[in-house]
Amino acid sequence: MDLAQFLPQFGNLAFTLLAFVVALSIIVAIHEYGHYIVGRWTGIKAEVFSLGFGPVLFARTDRHGTKWQVAALPFGGYVKFLGDANAASVGGDGGRVPESQRRQTMLGAPVWARALTVAAGPFANFLLTILILMALTLTQGRAVDPLTVATLQSMPPSIVQDLRPGDEILSIEGREVGVESLGEVAGELPVSSDIDYLVRRDGQEVVVQGPHPLPPAVGSVAPNSAAWDVGIRPGDVVIAVDGRELYAFDELVTIVKESNGRTLGFTIWREGELIEFTVVPRRSDLPLAEGGFETRWLVGLAPALAFDLETESPGVFVAFTDSLGQLWFIVTSTLSGITHMVTGAISTCNLSGPVGIAETSGAMASQGALSFLSFLALLSAAVGLMNLFPIPVLDGGHLVFHAWEAVTRRPPSDRALRVLMAAGLSVLLTLMVWAVANDVFLCP
C-alpha cells in the first residue's frame, strides 16, 4: 500500500481510538468515583481506585489509604474495596480482615450502606449527563422573541439572501413568527429560492427576501449513517437530488422517505464548489415523543436554520429542568427500544457494540466539541441505565442481592452467588458478541 494513502487512514483510526478512550475514561471515572465517594461517606474503605487494567503506569496513595492508579489498558476501570476478592466487589474473605475493620468492608457494612454505594455509580452517570446538558444549554442559550438574526449561513448564489445580522424577524410570507411557532410556520411555507421576510431594521419595518428558514442545509450528520459514510458533512447544502433542485429541507425528507432504499444522486454545494455523492438510504427506527418507534428510510442528515438567532441564557433552574427532561427521554427511549427489539418490533441492528460506539465517538468528535459533549451525555446515561439492569455482575444485580438480604435478613448463599454471577456473565458475553457481530458483520 502506498504510504501516502495509508497515513490518512491511520490518522483517522488513531483519532477514533483516542476519542473512544477519552469518552470511555471520563464515563468510567465518574461511575467509579460515585461508588468510591459514597462508599467512603458510608464508612466503606476503598483500597484501590484504578483507571484502566493491567500493568500500573502511575500510582499514589492518599491520606485515606486509597491507592489511586492509572493502568496500561484504558478500556475501563474499577474500585476495589477492603475485603473484596476482586474488582467486582463480589465475594471476598471478610474473615481475613481484622474484626476492628470489618465494618469498613462491603461484606461487613450494613445492607443500606452497600446498596447506596452500589447505586451511586449509575447515579453518577446520570448526574454527569445532567451537568453536560445543563452546560450546553447555558453556554449555547435559547432563542428569544423577537427572533433576531445573529449570523447568516453560507448559501449558494442561486438562493437570495437579503437578511442581515441584527434584523428582527416579525413575519415570514405574512405569517407572524416567534420562537415557539418558527417550526410550524416553516412547514407551511411555499418552496422557493426567495421568501418574503418582514423585519425591523434600524427602527423601520421593511420587507426583504431570503431563503427558506429551513433550507436543505446540513446542520449535523448522524455517525455511521449513509450520508456520513459517503462524506457529507455539516455546513454542506444539498442543492439537488437526482437533478431535482431543492429549496427546503422538507423536500429532501420527502424524497428520501419515498425512495424505498433506491440509490440517490446528491449534488452538494460546499464552500463554493459542487460535489456529487451517491447515497443509499437505510431503514432506521426512530423513537417517537409519545412512545414507540417509527421505521423510515433515512440518510442521517439533520437541518440547519438559514440563520443563527441571537440567544439568551435561560438560567440555571430552567437548564436543570430541561436537562432532567432530556435525561428522562433518553432513558424511556432506550427502555422502549430494548422492549421493541426483544419483541421483534424493530431491528436488532439498533444494538451497537464497542466497535460501533468507538466509530460514533470519532465521528462526533470530528464534528466539534459540542457534538462530542452531546454524545458523551447520551453515552453516560446509557451506561448508567445499563448498569441498573437486574443482571448479576452489574450494579443492578448487586442491588437485587441487597434487596433480598434486606427482606430475608440473610444474604444469598455463596453457591447461589456463584451460579447467578456465572449466569449473568454469560448473558453479558452473549450480548457483547451479538453487538460486535452487529458492528462488524450483520449491520455494517
Give the active site residues: 32
CB 178 within 8 A of CB 172: no
Phi and psi torsions of 261, nearest 5°: 85, 5
- Which 3 state secondary structure label does DSSP give 58? strand
**What's the Cα-to-Cα distance from 92 to each of 85, 99, 107, 108, 335, rounded to whole Å?**
4, 15, 8, 11, 34
- Which 3 state secondary structure label does DSSP give 101? helix
Phi and psi torsions of 206, nearest 5°: -135, 155
Phi and psi torsions of 221, nearest 5°: -125, 125
Q: How far apart are CA 133 and CA 128, in angstroms?
A: 9
Q: How far apart are CA 62 and CA 435, in angstroms?
A: 39
Handedness of CA 21, 22, 25, 27 (dihedral sign): negative
Q: Angle 303-215-264 (CA atoms, 0-180°, nearest 5)?
A: 75
Q: Which three cell numbers stand for residue 49?
A: 481506585
